[in-house]
Amino acid sequence: MKRIILITSAVCAVGLIAIIVGSHAVSAQDEHGKKKEKQPAAYNTYPPGILPSDLDSEIFRVRSEVVVIENEALAQWGALTPPTLTGQPPTLQGTGQRANQLLGKLMNFDENMSPFRDSPAVFCHMPYAGFSGSAVA
């Protein structure tokens, strides 16, 4: 019985050593012996030539516009008088419709609502598409 346990342990040890040595033997390294980080290709749904070559500067420009529009909406929201609640069922009278519009504008242009707090909803739900659907997919 001890002999079977000893043989099984030896086989497992040899297998573990083979796995460790094999993984180091096939690792990608550059000419200085440092491991290379393989970067996946950027996912792009558009055919070649559609996206501009200066995409980073275009994203910066759009983000700058988004900040201006959001600040404008925040100023308008702050200047808005509270609506009057009337009727049954309750309806907002006076500035109620404008408050709904500004709330939608604030939600679409707010970068903090994204998972990494770096892109507003308007990046995918563009105004020229009526804020519907994804402009990316």
CA distances 107 to 15, 35, 100, Å, are 57, 44, 11
Q: Between residues 133 and 47, which one has the greater pLDDT?
A: 47
- Measure the CA–CA gap between 17 and 132, rounded to whole angstroms: 56
DSSP string of 61-110, one letter each residue: HHHHHHHHHHHHHHHHHHHPPPPEEETTTTEEESSHHHHHHHHHHHHHH-
Nearest CA to 124 among 114, 115, 135?
135
The two structure tokens encoding residue 129? 């598409």
The yes-or-no verdict on residue 55 having pLDDT over 50 is yes
Mean pLDDT for 41-53 is 76
Give the model's pLDDT for residue 72.
95
DSSP secondary structure letter of residue 92: E
Q: Between residues 11 and 85, which one has the greater pLDDT?
A: 85
Among 24-33, 42-51, 101-110, the range with the most confident prediction by mean pLDDT is 101-110
Q: What is the pLDDT of residues 73-101, one digit of tens each?
A: 999 999 999 888 888 888 888 888 899 99
Q: Which residues contact 52 (CB under 8 A, 6 or more apart)?
A: 58
